[in-house]
Structure 1
Amino acid sequence: MPGRWAWALLAAGVAHAAALAWPLPGPVAGQPLPWLQWLALCVLAAGVRRAPSRAAAFWRGWGFATAWLAATFWWLFISMHVYGGLAAPLAALAVLALAAFLGLYTAGMAALLWRWRRSGPWRYALVFAAGWTLAEWARGTWLTGFPWGAAGYALVDAYAAWAPWVGVYGMGALSAGLAAGLVAWGLGRLGREATSPQGRLVGAAWGARIAAGVVVLALGPVLWWPSGGVWLAERLPAWTAPAGDMPVALLQGNIPQDEKFTPGVGVPLALDWYETQVAEALRQLDARGGGLVVAPETAIPLLPQDMDPAWWARWLARIADSRSAVLLGLPLGSWTEGYTNSVAGWAASREMYRYDKHHLVPFGEFVPPLFRWFVAMMDIPLGDFRRGPLGQPPFEWNGQRIAPNVCYEDLFGEELAVAFHDASGAPTVLVNVSNIAWFGDTVAIDQHRHISRLRALELQRPMLRATNTGATVVIDHLGRVQAELPRLTRGRLEATVQGRQGLTPYARWAGRWGQWPLVGLALLVLVGARRPR
């Protein structure tokens, strides 16, 4: 990838990452920038179209994707170096190696799409959107998947009205197709190839340009007016209906990550703070008729059998005397049955509810084959956790069906949608518990907020997020932030959330077939585009 295209595509990759959540201080800090994401895709589409060979298209796609992904999740360096003790050069190399490996999906897509480099705007738009979708889906699925940084998250506001129909991958496909079509229309060879000897455009070329103009007018403006999609989503008929209000209290302990698992420091701090905060939250919620308290992932970093029996007895007795319910992140299990990263739930006169994390984090919660040597180089409380089943039942309480998910599980919309296969038992409220303290005070917090917002939009369900350091936030069924605690502070967020019932089109098809309808459509587009004009 020599020459000016190298620098242009590397810069476009970094811009694509920044578009997910602007990482620099200023008026748009932490916000998605859809226009920047779209411009970056325009550069990629032009680079692939102008590549002199299939190999050049591959290298151009790889350079773009490696820069994009490294600039998206660079904060993994903090977890490996600052908290894991891995030498800085090795930690940086590990991040770059992961980005380069995951970038191979986009590189393969670019090499495949080079075949249609001379296509008109409609065909190039369709094949580019299809190829981009397949690459995004493969990256988010194969080898357990790591879809962090998918293009659609930059469109959480701009394409909000599309989310309940096509989900995050479909939103990314719309943006990619718009970018590629406009590149083929304005910068491609269509104008020169479709002119008569007198230099006038033939009718077919004019028709293609007019049709492309209609698409640009329909989809383009919201990219430059980020709140346009939200404005439209608010005015379209909702797919879901209210299912009752519920007072909530979300806890953010802000326990320092380097002390969190230390027996004499972070553990007693967590036990004392969460016990006090839960007691106070229960009193206030009971005065309002009862509500839900949520504490973050591994808020108590101990197994129940390893806790002080007096502390545990006080905890259970306080909930038994309350009119409210509590969800708490903690490990469960034993040496014989294995351990799980779990959410436990309690309400008066009820047995303990249990949700076990299904989608585990490679290296953090399980060690991939042949990589134990890499884990041994770091001093992080890693372990091989046991995986919970997919589609676990929700926590039913006070007329609501509350579905927990842990940490980056809310990246996998198709997995959350499994619980919506049966409309009568579908969750009315989603709850994410996380600990992003591993990545410091970085844009990872903002990126994860937008991920949760998009899940709320896809399924039209409110999302409650209780985290250790942020973003602890209440998100409504249209992806709008209703309330949020300042990041890296210790506090309790109190709000009222409205549960929802009913199914969006995305919940219907993704709940039954996952992402396969979208993948199948993309494959059909590529197969159909191989036919002669």
Structure 2
Amino acid sequence: MAPRLPRAVEAPQLSLPFDLILAAALGAWHTLAYFYTEAWWLQLGCVALLAWRVSSVAPARAAALGWAFGTAWLIAGTWWMFISMHRYGGLPAWMAAGAVLALSGFLSLYLGAATGLFARWRRGRPLPDALLFAALWLIAELARGVVFTGFPWVASGYAQVDGPLATLAPWVGVYGIGFVVALLGAWVAFAWLQPGRRWVGAAATVAVLALASTVHSSFTRSSGTLSVTLLQGNIPQEEKFATEHQGAALQWHVDGLLAATSDLVVAPETAVPFLPQQMPEGFWESLRGRFATGPTHALFGVPLGDDETGYTNSSVGFAPGRAEYRYDKRHLVPFGEFIPFGFRWFTQLMNIPLGDFNRGVPNAPSFAVDGQRVAPNICYEDLFGEELAARFVDPATAPTMFANLSNIGWFGDNIAVDQHLHISRMRSLEFERPMLRATNTGATAIIDHRGQVTHSLKPYARGILEGQAQGREGLTPFAWWASRFGLWPLLLAAAAIAVACVALPRFARR
């Protein structure tokens, strides 16, 4: 007679309101790891507790718990959008708060669907169930990051930028790290519910984290060093596009550009706040003439275009002896830089200048600076690693460093600055490329190819940052596969794991 397996421990039954509050609290609490990245372990604990709850309830309730977790996660991680819509956009407070809640709730439907399907398909065995949970989690994150132009802010992998799992970034990118987070958290939870196996998941998780912390792969080599100057104007958002203040804002940035003696000087997004037809007479010609000779190259943000052809959020580069370089932002911010179909009424309620830009071309060329290929990205374009990867198809023209030109003064003095810095650090880890961040209010910094900040300015203060940045050549595994296939390999792998866990009973019952 075959030995009887020990009965799994039953999770306590909770009332629906208490369960929803618990899930929401876990979702909100774990966003602390995106700000205090040294607390990366907090995310693992919160994910484990969510997995524990959804494994013990019916599918409909599991879906509700996943939705509550995701909604609180996004509200806690992106509440600063309220500031841009209310303080600077002029939207009534109740409507701005409602917009943040509606967006967070809508985007959390993906996670709700994932946890609901997990509760329906789970097999009651720790490792297969953990793999199923992680696969569905990954599919939900990919959907949030891609569908409707995508909103991957606070994707789960970003909380691990200072944790041991960060070593996986050059292999699988931020979404792959999120899969591992969900796998380890769920494995701990599901193993704990099995008598005699309670410590298996915890021991395996500790082993994986310890092993990951010892991996220090290097896929790139030095391509030379640039001296760089980064400008941080700290122009208050309410003054940036106000006619009576534009002259002073422009003059500070121009003075910083003209005074630089480094190989490259970078000024932030819309550092020149004028449209071409609004610029003072002779301004453009004199600025271009300053960089026509000498050792210094300049890269700065400026809106370009006209009423007939449309406008672009652009960066322009001036280099000695060459025609001016131009990069037009391609991945635009919904409502702030383009108007989604059917929502013009909403954007008309806000006072946001230049809110409907044209898109730039895909796979734009880099800006050549003394043998280095500097690839600009503007504002939250650096959230989309798969799009930056498109520039790495040809290693001979691939960027040797990135430059992010941002203005997140729209969001006030809050966690958004640190969150965006960690996002840029993740891109440096994925591609093993330095990132130069020139921002209006912060974080202005030089990040090396290991994702470490080597030079930085204090946020919300006017300043000029000078330092060295080492360019890199060569391709990480992530750069290679993402440049050719985008995020499809991750999606297909997640789907295959989910199908295997559901459709292959023998595998699922081991």
Q: Same fold (TM over 0.5)?
A: yes
Asked whether 1:46 is paired with 2:46, we answer no
Asked whether 1:368 is paired with 2:340, we answer yes
Which letter does structure 1 place at the counterpart of 2:320? Answer: A
Write out aligned runs for 1:60-459 (5 A).
60-158=65-163, 159-186=165-192, 188=193, 190-191=194-195, 210=200, 212=201, 215-220=204-209, 229=213, 232=214, 236-265=216-245, 267-281=246-260, 284-285=261-262, 291-459=263-431
Tell me the CA shift for residue 209 of structure 1: 6.6
CA contact (8 A) 1:363 1:382 kept: no
Name the CA distance, whole Å, in 1 between partners of 2:427 and 2:175. 12
Asked whether 1:483 is paired with 2:462, we answer no
Q: Deviations over 1:318-351 (max 9, x none)?
A: 1113211000101112222211101100101110
CA contact (8 A) 1:32 1:153 kept: no
- Matched residue of 2:505: which SS? coil
Which letter does structure 1 place at the counterpart of 2:475? Answer: L
Name the CA distance, whole Å, in 1 between partners of 2:258 and 2:354. 31
Q: Deviations over 1:460-499 (max 9, x none)?
A: 0000000000000000000000011000111110000000
Tell me the CA shift for residue 32 of structure 1: 4.9
Match of 2:40 among 26, 34, 46: 34
Name the CA distance, whole Å, in 2 between partners of 1:485 and 1:219. 36
Name the CA distance, whole Å, in 2 between partners of 1:337 and 1:494. 38
Name the CA distance, whole Å, in 2 between partners of 1:456 and 1:220. 21
Name the CA distance, whole Å, in 2 between partners of 1:119 and 1:422. 47
- Matched residue of 2:30: which SS? helix
Unaligned ranges ≥5, structure 1: 23-30, 192-200, 223-227, 286-290
Name the CA distance, whole Å, in 2 between partners of 1:310 and 1:331. 17
Moved more, 421-430 or 305-314: 305-314
Name the CA distance, whole Å, in 2 between partners of 1:367 and 1:126. 39
Q: Share of identical aligned residues, percent? A: 50
Tell me the CA shift for residue 115 of structure 1: 2.2
CA contact (8 A) 2:129 2:501 kept: no
CA contact (8 A) 2:293 2:321 kept: no
Tell me the CA shift for residue 2 of structure 1: 1.6
Match of 2:480 among 505, 508, 512: 508
Name the CA distance, whole Å, in 2 between partners of 1:123 and 1:299. 52
Q: Deviations over 1:34-93 (max 9, x none)?
A: 111111101211121011x11101101111000000110000000011111111111111
Name the CA distance, whole Å, in 1 between partners of 2:26 and 2:377. 33
Alignment match, 2:18: 4
Instruction: Give RMSD over aligned pairs.
Output: 1.6
Give the structure-1-normalised TM-score.
Answer: 0.89
- Matched residue of 1:329: which SS? strand
Which letter does structure 2 place at the counterpart of 1:374? Answer: F
- Matched residue of 1:402: which SS? strand
Which letter does structure 2 place at the counterpart of 1:532? Answer: P
Tell me the CA shift for residue 4 of structure 1: 2.8
What is the number of equivalent residue pairs in this alignment?
A: 490
- Matched residue of 1:293: which SS? strand
Write out aligned runs for 1:9-24 (5 A).
9-22=23-36
CA contact (8 A) 2:269 2:407 kept: yes
Tell me the CA shift for residue 310 of structure 1: 2.7
Alignment match, 2:9: none
Tell me the CA shift for residue 220 of structure 1: 3.9
Q: Deviations over 1:151-193 (max 9, x none)?
A: 000001112211000100000110110010111100x3x33xx
CA contact (8 A) 1:431 1:463 kept: yes
Unaligned ranges ≥5, structure 2: 1-14
Name the CA distance, whole Å, in 2 between partners of 1:471 and 1:482. 13
Tell me the CA shift for residue 373 of structure 1: 1.1
Name the CA distance, whole Å, in 1 between partners of 2:204 and 2:486. 28
Moved more, 305-314 or 173-182: 305-314
- Matched residue of 1:384: which SS? coil
Alignment match, 1:198: none
Tell me the CA shift for residue 221 of structure 1: 5.1
CA contact (8 A) 2:133 2:182 kept: yes
Name the CA distance, whole Å, in 2 between partners of 1:465 and 1:54. 45
